[in-house]
Structure 1
Amino acid sequence: MKKTVYTVWRPYVLLVVLCFIAYANTLYNGFVYDDPSVISENPRVAHWQNFRFLFDQKYFKITGKGKETAFGEASYRPVATATYFIDAMLFNRKAWGSHLTNLIFHMVNACLLFLLTRMITGSQITALMTGILFSAHPVLTEAVNAIAFREDLLVVFFLLIALLCFVKRQSSNSPKRTFIIILMHSICLFLALFAKEMALAYPFLLGVLVLQQGISFRKNTDLLISGAMVYLFYIIVRFFMMTNPNEARLFFPGGTWLSNVYTMSTVFLEYFIQLFYPACLLADYQPTARRTLTDPMVIISLVTVSGLFISAFFYFIRKRSIISGGILFFFFALGSVSNITPIGNICAERYLYLPIIGLLWSICTFIFVTQKFVHSKRLYLICIVCIVTLALSRTITRNTDWKDSESLWNATIETEPKSYRAYSNLASLYFDRGEYRKSIKYYIGCLMLRRTPQNHYNLGNAYRRIDDFQRAVEEYQQAIAIDPTFPEIYNNLGLTLIEMKRYTEAEEALNKALYYGQPDEYVLENLGLLYDHKGEYETAIDYYKKAIQYNPKKASPYNMLAVLYVKNGEPEKGLGLFKEALQRFPSNVQLYKNTAVLYNQLGDKMNEIFYWEQAHKIAPDDKEIIQILIDYYRQTGNTEKTQKYLYKLYILTKESR
């Protein structure tokens, strides 16, 4: 009995171990690509009270960190989003926990694929080989590494179970068992559809399976009707009730449907290259839009792709072969991401997570059939082991590229030096880190690829952060030359000109910012700063008040106005405004600092130290605050507190080395 159990579970254990070997190093990876905006930097998925928004139009806002729908999911995929809530609950949004979830799904998918393949081919060897190649193939690294692309893992998980239910239905004679199978099939189909639209290809995939296995449609009427009802419900919800307004902004590459056909034929050829030679994997594919049939690349792609599809189709009709059926499965599975209706990314490795199943069926069946004609079985086995080993090693090394955003996009540029997204993401990454000189290098790279006002604006912002004001002004002016109605450029140009003491030009720029855009607290505050620098305090006070009135939830205008009151010889007004601001913004450390400074000017040491203490509670790692407290308590002879803050300063200094 023990031997039988061991024999049954041995293939599953092998696949689980192989998946773990292939992807164990992903557990050390962070959040990359879309993960930060969708998960790690999106506080909405960490709170269960937001779970209800999965079922209304707010879904497109809660699935991203920004205020606009452009920052969230492009389409309605609540099942995938629900798993992010579960991750947040189980792992407190730690990256290793989310990667572990993806790894477990990949392991289970490999086992389910083995089981399904064995059922439809009747061959343990073919099934095991299919599962092994699926476990280790490098082209699947994007789907497993990127948490925000978990929908590909989920759609395969649920569709494999649905297909298993369909196959099991054929041998079910018990009404009760049949009912459970049909119910489970419907539930899995429902969850697959709401995980990702690729599940729309299921009827075609099922059709290939039914014809290949010689299954009667009539015998499965009940199951097919229940599935059709699930589809109808999904279509109503997805295309009529839960549409993303941003979908209307998408367009075909080249601008026409015909150019889309030409372009997508080259994309399909790219997929075949990556499947059979995954040496140059990319996180960002930007296929060239193909507009004419005379393009040599279009001719090669159309002949290759259409020839393969037509040959497989007619051979399948005649022979019902699993080899030709697997090829058809591959093409049908790619159907929903073939840009039939415009989608955001027309080429991505993650799209192959479902289609690769069909191709693996074809390849592994071909290997199993041809091995009978090979004289040296040992040599044949060695070749297969070498292929799996190479695939496994490529997968493991590719995972290291996904360690963090910096390594991913640098690896992308090494493979594809013209990747605009890679340059843009690295520039933003370094800018957010405060590494402005590095960000300048990549913003220049962005401009070399695309000369847009946004890129000039971003480069100007980076120059301004390193106090290279002249170059910042030049970049802002180049941005304005391209788009003279961009209000944010005028605002930052005005702020830079204030730093350069070119007040007349700054006033002109800030007034244009008001003219081309809605009045906002940033422009109004900067106008206040301008007149503050010019010494026109009353005008500055008016603009600071307008900024507060426009947005009372922003702390900096209160701070600037209170400081200005003090400069204008009205310290009591300034103190009153500081206290009012602290009631509104009790965690704003700068307000506490400025209030302490004001009390120092007023000679009120007790209140001054009170506010420094409060500032320290909010910013316990601020060495400047700690040093002020050390100096005060040393002067007043308070040895206990002096030693307390000296020790804190020592620890912080030691940690920073």
Structure 2
Amino acid sequence: MIAELVSSALGLVLYLNTLGADFCYDDSRAIKTNQDLLPETPWTQIFYNDFWGTLLTHSGSHKSYRPLCTLSFRINHAIGGMDPWSYHLVNVLLHAAVTGLFTNFSRILFGDGYWTLLAGLLFASHPIHTEAVAGIVGRADIGACFFFLLSLVCYIKHCWTRSYSEGTWGWILGSGLCATCSMLWKEQGVTVLAVSAVYDVFVFHRLKMHQIIPAVYKRKNLPLLLSIGLLIFWGALLLGLRFYWMGNKPPSFSNSDNPAADSDSFLTRTLTFFYLPTKNLWLLLCPDTLSFDWSMDAVPLLKTVSDWRNLHTVAFYAGLLLLAYTSLKNPSKERECNGKNVTNGKLNTNGHNCLSEMEYKSMELKSYFVSKEENGIDKLLRQKLPLPSTEHIVVLSLSLLIVPFIPATNLFFYVGFVIAERVLYIPSMGFCLLITVGTRALYIKTQKRFLKNLIFFATAALIFFYGLKTFVRNRDWQDEEMLYKSGIKVNPAKGEAYMRLSRLPEAEHWYVESLRSKTDHIPAHLTYGKLLALTGRKNEAEKYFLKAIQLDPTKGNCYMHYGQFLLEESRLIEAAEMAEKAAELDNTEFDVVFNAAHMLRQASLNEAAEKYYKRAAELRPDYPAALMNLGAILHLNGKLLEAESNYLRALQFKPDDVITQSNLRKLWNIMEKQGLRTSKA
């Protein structure tokens, strides 16, 4: 228990200075403006809306279904209102609980001793957790991790008691329920079922890759096959229900959220998506540069094979495959037990007895349990199960690192971010275990006392600097100004907090600094152009808009910003030209197409405006504003029956819209004068 208490205390202390922080970043959408938190909103509505309070089946929803996390926010709101202190306190306490639970889980792998404590301290101090703990919406990741660990521990207990206890299926039921809760905190929680399967096959049963298929045909492995079958069934059921509940449609995101997904080049998408896990691993290894926002061009796209960053990608996957191969191949004669060297299961030099691979497989697990007749309950004896060897811990660590990260890889569906540090909260457990098992293996193989001391002090230094970085990073989350300022190096275009605060001279200073650090950063040119236009330097502003277009003529967003500028300057025909270019290039982006239609209408190009209003309505057929505007342009163009149809569709989604009602009454008056039949009741 000492290891758990020490690591939990460190996790608690490092984040105490966040308690005075304000709401930041996404907190406003998830908490301040989320109607699901208000007492007048039925609490059951939480289970029909996404994380931000939008109906899950709505086309504009991000499909982030996390009802248990939203429910915790609602309880926070009921107790403390909009005081951010209580929200931060829950996050910090939850992180401390997860840290203790992870340390306890590490004991299953390393036993009692320093290595378990090392794993716990690494997790407690890692700076990558700052966003999840200091940012209130990061509670989704912490809560998911909490139930993730509970599910995994329940399944491990199921493995230990399987075939020798009637209550073993209660453990697998508990594992399934905790996995469900984990998924309802955040989507990636469901991946614990796959990690549990890895533990059962490769750690508990110690099978190698070549042994899996033959094991299927052995009758003695029936309990294993039944357990894995239950995991697969439960995972498929959860995913199926999840997809059905969100309307059987994947989410859609703007190109600024995930530029690679919007690229027309298959090569660009492939190279970039393969590179991003490498970038995420580097954040775990060396969390020197952290940011709350990695969107837009924070990570420039890899467009050619000659991009030097591809070398990082090759090195990453080669190392990963090598590590997995060496862990899954036939075991060597020399093994480890509790951190001590042993050979062929004999006593080592320190007198510790360990089981060889064959002895472990053939041993009867009955000897590790007390029968019901003796004590009336099933419990472990003082003698414990042998600890996993280094190779088995590596396999489990890799699964913890990789499997929970798979939903963020864009492999199965596009996600709404480039990099999100809080997504690494669960995978960081695998990273901490890998560091621990690697350090242990190095420490054991090193014979000289000097080198052993060097390893010890290096590890202590790593924990110290991780903790120091975490403590310093917490200060960036005190308010939005500090948060945006800290992210300038990563995403120069988001230095615009000063602009929203109307502190224009300071905003201009940081825009200039941004462009100095990234001279080819398109969003920085666009946002600085808007600032120059706002301060009256129109000629200078136009140069920056044109420069953005020159940097990448294929980005419709650049033409749209320039078009807005031209519209404000009453250069309507030029603005309309830019709008059409933007809409043609980004014809799947609702905001771009919708705004282009507006600009064309203001330029009195009604036929062209009608074309893009129709396109916008196709992209979001249940969005009342799109239908109402389409009805209005059809009304102006004399297509009265079509106009009526779209007005009526708009009112189906928003019956109390005053503008649509007024337009429809005017339309009916015209239709009646022309002798046309109306749908008026």
* TM bucket normalised to smaller: 0.5 to 0.7
Whether 1:62 aligns to 2:53 is yes
| The one of 659, 672, 680 aligned to 1:550 | 659
Q: Deviations over 1:148-200 (max 9, x none)?
A: 23222122111111110011113337866334322221111111223223234
Could you say which residue in structure 2 is the equivalent of 1:371?
A: 443
Could you say which residue in structure 2 is the equivalent of 1:419?
A: 492
Q: Are the counterparts in 1 of residues 179 and 190 from structure 2 also a CA contact under 8 Å?
A: no
Q: Are the counterparts in 1 of residues 195 and 403 from structure 2 also a CA contact under 8 Å?
A: yes
Q: Deviations over 1:515-561 (max 9, x none)?
A: 658999xx9xxxxxxxxxxxxxxxxxxxxxxxx973899xxxxxxxx
Could you say which residue in structure 1 is the equivalent of 2:368?
A: none
Distance 1:282 1:129 in 2: 27
Distance 2:4 2:276 in 1: 34
Distance 1:456 1:510 in 2: 27
Q: Are the counterparts in 1 of residues 4 and 101 from structure 2 also a CA contact under 8 Å?
A: no
Distance 1:295 1:449 in 2: 17
Whether 1:359 aligns to 2:468 is no
Could you say which residue in structure 2 is the equivalent of 1:598?
A: none
Alignment of 1:281-430 (within 5 A): 281-285=290-294, 286-319=298-331, 320-340=391-411, 341-372=413-444, 373=446, 374-376=448-450, 378-413=453-488, 415-416=489-490, 418-420=491-493, 422-423=494-495, 426=496, 429-430=497-498
Change (3 A) 1:50 1:317: farther
Distance 1:481 1:334 in 2: 30
| The one of 199, 204, 220 aligned to 1:213 | 204
Distance 2:419 2:283 in 1: 12
Could you say which residue in structure 2 is the equivalent of 1:279?
A: 288
Q: CA deviation at 1:399?
A: 0.8
Q: CA deviation at 1:348?
A: 2.5
Q: Are the counterparts in 1 of residues 253 and 416 from structure 2 also a CA contact under 8 Å?
A: no
Q: Are the counterparts in 2 of residues 324 and 362 from structure 1 also a CA contact under 8 Å?
A: no
Normalized against structure 2, the TM-score is what?
Answer: 0.63
Q: Deviations over 1:391-414 (max 9, x none)?
A: 11111001111111111111111x
Distance 2:509 2:486 in 1: 16
Q: Are the counterparts in 1 of residues 132 and 425 from structure 2 also a CA contact under 8 Å?
A: yes
Distance 1:481 1:149 in 2: 30
Name the amino acid aligned to 1:130.
Answer: A
What is the aligned-residue RMSD (CA, Å)?
4.2
Q: CA deviation at 1:482?
A: 6.9
**Partner-residue secondary structure (3-state), 1:194:** helix
Distance 2:263 2:557 in 1: 27
| The one of 34, 49, 52 aligned to 2:44 | 52
Q: Are the counterparts in 2 of residues 80 and 195 from structure 1 also a CA contact under 8 Å?
A: yes
Distance 2:453 2:58 in 1: 60
| The one of 76, 79, 102 aligned to 1:87 | 76
Alignment of 1:84-233 (within 5 A): 84-172=73-161, 177-210=167-200, 211-214=202-205, 218-220=222-224, 223-233=227-237
Alignment of 1:559-574 (within 5 A): none
Q: CA deviation at 1:267?
A: 2.3
Name the amino acid aligned to 2:284.
Answer: L
Q: Structure 1 unaligned runs (5+)?
A: 1-8, 496-507, 524-547, 554-657
> Which shifted more, 347-356 or 223-232?
223-232
Name the amino acid aligned to 2:437.
Answer: T
Name the amino acid aligned to 2:418.
Answer: I
Change (3 A) 1:381 1:442: closer
Q: CA deviation at 1:118?
A: 0.9
Change (3 A) 1:146 1:300: same
Whether 1:240 aligns to 2:244 is yes
Distance 2:185 2:275 in 1: 28
Distance 1:288 1:472 in 2: 26
Alignment of 1:4-83 (within 5 A): 9-47=1-39, 49-56=41-48, 58-59=49-50, 62=53, 73-83=62-72
Q: Are the counterparts in 1 of residues 525 and 545 from structure 2 also a CA contact under 8 Å?
A: no
Q: Deviations over 1:355-412 (max 9, x none)?
A: 2212222221222233233414555433332221111111100111111111111111
Distance 2:302 2:175 in 1: 41
Change (3 A) 1:38 1:122: same
Q: CA deviation at 1:276?
A: 2.5
Distance 1:300 1:121 in 2: 32
Change (3 A) 1:265 1:177: same
Identity of aligned residues (%): 20
Q: Are the counterparts in 1 of residues 36 and 45 from structure 2 also a CA contact under 8 Å?
A: no
Q: Structure 2 unaligned runs (5+)?
A: 207-219, 332-390, 550-555, 572-598, 614-625, 633-656, 663-681
Alignment of 1:476-515 (within 5 A): 512=603
Q: CA deviation at 1:491?
A: 7.8
Q: Are the counterparts in 2 of residues 109 and 157 from structure 1 also a CA contact under 8 Å?
A: yes
Change (3 A) 1:15 1:115: same
Larger Cα-atom Rg? 1
Does 1 or 2 have the higher relative contact order (CA < 8 Å, sep 6+)? 2
Change (3 A) 1:245 1:440: farther
Normalized against structure 1, the TM-score is what?
Answer: 0.65
Q: Deviations over 1:238-295 (max 9, x none)?
A: 2233056642766626445553342234323323332222222222332222233333
Distance 2:137 2:172 in 1: 31
Q: CA deviation at 1:19?
A: 0.8
Distance 1:378 1:485 in 2: 60
Q: Are the counterparts in 1 of residues 18 and 134 from structure 2 also a CA contact under 8 Å?
A: yes
Distance 1:73 1:17 in 2: 36
Change (3 A) 1:432 1:268: closer
Change (3 A) 1:86 1:454: farther
Change (3 A) 1:183 1:440: same
Distance 1:111 1:228 in 2: 29
Could you say which residue in structure 2 is the equivalent of 1:568?
A: none
Q: Are the counterparts in 2 of residues 63 and 81 from structure 1 also a CA contact under 8 Å?
A: no
Q: Deviations over 1:205-254 (max 9, x none)?
A: 22332212326863255554543343233222322330566427666264
